[in-house]
Each structure stands twice: as C-alpha cells, then as structure tokens.
Amino acid sequence: MNRLKMIFAVLAVLWGGELLAQGIDFKHISFEEALVEAKRENKLVFIDFYTVWCAPCKMMSASVFTDAKVGGIYNSKFINIKLDAEKEGRAAARKFGVSAYPTLAFITPDGELAYKSTGSRNIAKTIELAGNAESSRFSDYSLTNLKELYPEKQNDENFLKLYVDKMIEYGQSPVEGLEAWLAIQTEIKEDDVDMMEFLFKHKKYLLVDGKAEEILKANYDEFFDIATRTEEVELKRLQAVMVYNTKAEAYRTGSPELMRAFITNWKELPEGPLKSGSLDTYELDYVWLTKDGDAFKQAATNYIDSMMSVKSLEQIRKEDKAYYEEYKATKYMPSLMGNSTLANLELGREALAQTNEIESTGYKFLRFCESKKDFKTLESWIEYGDQLIPSDYAMDNLRAAMLYKQGNATKAIEYKEIALNKLSENSKYRSRVERELNKMKQGQEL
C-alpha cells in the first residue's frame, strides 16, 4: 500500500469511528449485563429487537440510529443494546411479547417493560419515543402501576378509559380493559355516531360474545343510517373483524374458551371473501389449546390421514403444474411479490399447503409423542411430505426433531444439517435452524 492510500485508509477509519459515535452507542453486552449497568446508572435499557431478514430494521440501523440527535438523546438517557429476536434475544423477546420487527422496547433496571413500540420510525418519531418512554417511567400511570391498579378499578369509568389508552400506547393488549369500560361507561350513548366511531377506532381489539358485539348488533341499523359510504363498508366488515380478533386472542392467550367462541361465530359468517380457513383446522387448534395430549393425537391423526387420502400424489402434481403454468402465463408480473408467488407455485400450491399442515401439526404432535406407535405415525406423515416437495427443508427439519426426542442425536444432527443446506443464505428460517443445530451438537434441550 503506498503512502497516499495509507493516509486515506487511516482517515476512513477515523471518520467512520466519528460517525458511529454520533449515533446510538449500542453496547455489545447481554441483556442481563445491560440491566446491571442500568441499575448502576439509574437508566432504562433501550432494546432494538431485530431479525437479520427484517428490511425496516436495516433501514433504521442505517439512517435513524446513526443520526447525531438521536444518538445524543439515547446515549444520555438509556443503556442501548441490540438483540436478534431469533438468536441471543429470543428469551427476552418472548418475555416482552415481541412478535413483529423492529420492536423498540424500554426496560426498567428491575427487568420490567416500561414502554414498547413496534414498527419503523423516522428520526423525529424516534426522538419522540425516547421522551414517551422517559415520561412513562416516572408517571403515576406507568405500565407497572396501571396493571397493579386495574383489579381494584373495575368500576372506575375514568380509570378504565385511561387504562385502555395507555395499554395501547405501551403496545399492550387492551382487550380486557376495553370490555370493562364498555360495560360501565356513561360517556357515549350506545346508538350515537360517536360510539360507532369509537368501535371503528378500536376495531382490532374487539372480540365476540362481549359488550362490544352486543352494542354492534343492537345498534347496527342506526349505525348504518348515519354511516358514510366508506363507513358502511367498514360496518359490514366489523362483525368478521371481531370474529378473527377472537381467534388471534385465543392463540395469544392460549384460551380454548376463546377458540370455541371463535369457531361458533365463524360458522355463522356468510360464505365469501370475509370467511377464510377451514373448520377442521380450527377444531384441531381448539383441541391443541385444551392441552389434552391423547385427544390431540387422535384428532391430529384423523386430520392428517384425511388430508392425505383426498388426492393421490400424481393428481396433486398434475393439478399444481397446471395451476403454475396458468398463473405464469396469465397473472404473473415481475416484482418482489410476483417472483415470490411464482417460486412458491413452482413448488406446488397444494403440495406446499399440505407440507405446511404436516409441519405445523407434526411439531405439536411431537410434543405428545411417547409410544412407538406415535413415532411411527409421525414418520409416515414425514415420508408423505418428502414425496410432496423433496427439495423443501421442512420435513428434514421435522424428522431431525423427532429423532432428537427419540435420543438419536447423531441422526438428528445429520438431518438438521440436510435441512440447513436446503435453505438459502437469506432465508428467514436459517437462523432458527442453525440455533437448533448448535443446541443438538451441545446436547441441549430444544
């Protein structure tokens, strides 16, 4: 390297270090170490929960977290760390209910969630977020205080409304508080336009078989009379929205009661674009949520065996090829979405759907596997899935998990590596498979 190139190289390092110093100083420490430091400095821990495949995460890292103003505020107020939610940050992500990325979380020195926001933000909104997090920590209505007060404030209309607003602001589910407020509120007449607008505003938190649905059904005609054309469309969809919200809440809370409420109301939805999914799948999910292992194994066996018996492999391949050719000739438009759809259809629409069902049901089935008969049943599903899409990683991955549970770590590692080799370098599933492979090699529980 000549002298001039060496000078430029040194300057690049210096300038690069200066630029990094201007942005957020993310410390390369664990979550536990960050809590110790936060307690020592009496600060919140700021966590950027990200994944390697998350494009908005990369955008924030490149253009927001590097900003001098953002860095000045966050470095002075918080202990800042980044956690990959699928790797080293997996346990923390689960604890704080992280399911979308990026999630920006602020944690007290005692390890409690103080504030949380999901989704990418620009520089101004990221600075605003820091102020909101700081305010929430020292407020009488911090997340911790609100949750402590909630049980004794069930008849306090003003508190419940504040509770709902704050839970939404903190990125928490306000479902329970919202129902409690609707049941006792005197602020809005139930047949008034303000109530319709309130329901629209909070529609993603409304469930069936509660006060919200009661209000909607009792006042639907009045709402429709006062609705604009846009609101009429939203009103027609609201019942279905509430039904699917109930399903999501059942999964989130693990409630078989909510799942049964969803199924009952789903059956009553009119056939059409607002009604999706299958009754067999939902009934199987209900049994899963009851945690009755024997009942689930029987239901799962009936479900998968029935699915496999409807069509022959030859018929599936023929129909999938025909659909792929038709889509490519008449509907395909080059784009990220179009290319992805085309690639999936090339694998086979029905084949991919059945493989996904075997994978999803198979992992749940595996949790209850005990006898040779159980493992033989699961192996038969995997063999069928192998024939559907030989190039897919999913069946090798499931077989690895089954073998590992049976105590055959050597073969399990072999199939896990086969699964990993079938995944592209930029696959969002790769980090999970790599993590599980390392656990197998170390003899750890999956």
Q: Is the pLDDT of residue 1 over 90?
A: no
Cis ω on the peptide bond leading into residue 102 (within 30° of 0)? Answer: yes
Residue 8 has pLDDT above 70, yes or no: no
Of the candidate ranges 2-6, 27-31, 75-79, the one whose mean pLDDT is the lowest: 2-6
Q: What is the pLDDT of residue 294?
A: 96
> Rounded to two decimals, what is the model's pTM?
0.77
Identify any residues that bridge with 82 across adjacent strands, giving them in sequence order: 48
C-beta of residue 19 within 8 angstroms of C-beta of residue 71: no
The pLDDT of residue 181 is above 70? yes
Q: How confident is the model at residue 135 (pLDDT cuts 50, 70, 90)?
A: confident
C-alpha torsion 248→251→257→259, nearest 10? 60
DSSP category for residue 254: T
pLDDT of residue 145: 84
Q: Could you say which of 24, 34, 38, 54 is catalytic?
A: 54
Mean residue pLDDT across the chain? 91
What mean pLDDT comes out for the span 256-280?
Answer: 95
pLDDT in tens, 185-223: 999 999 999 999 999 999 999 999 999 999 999 999 999
* Confidence grade of residue 12 (pLDDT, cut at 50, 70, 90): very low
Q: How far is CA 332 from the centre of its chain?
A: 29
What are the two backbone dihedrals, phi and then psi, of residue 142, each rounded to the nearest 5 degrees? -65, 165
3-state secondary structure of 284: helix
359's tokens = 């994978």
Residues 336-365 have a mean pLDDT of 94
Q: Is the confidence at residue 4, as pLDDT, over 50?
A: no
User: Which pLDDT band holds residue 43 (cuts at 50, 70, 90)?
Assistant: very high
Q: What is 135-192 written as a DSSP string? A: HHHHSTT-HHHHHHHGGG-TT-HHHHHHHHHHHHHTT---HHHHHHHHHH--SS-TTS
> What are the extents of the domains in the chain?
19-138, 140-187, 189-276, 277-391, 393-446
Active site residue 54: yes
Is residue 430 scored above 80 in pLDDT?
yes
Check residues 207 and 87 and name the one with the higher pLDDT: 207
286-301 confidence digits (pLDDT tens): 999 999 999 999 999 9
pLDDT of residue 5: 45
pLDDT at 136: 76
Residues contacting 389, CB < 8 A, separation 6+: 347, 348, 351, 352, 355, 395
Out of 2.40.30.260, 3.40.30.10, 3.40.50.300, 3.65.10.10, which CATH number does the structure's domain 19-138 have? 3.40.30.10
Catalytic residue among 34, 45, 57, 378, which? 57
Looking at 76-80, 319-323, 441-445, which range is the least confident one? 441-445
Q: Is 369 a catalytic residue?
A: no
- CA atoms of 297 and 303, how far apart (whole Å): 10
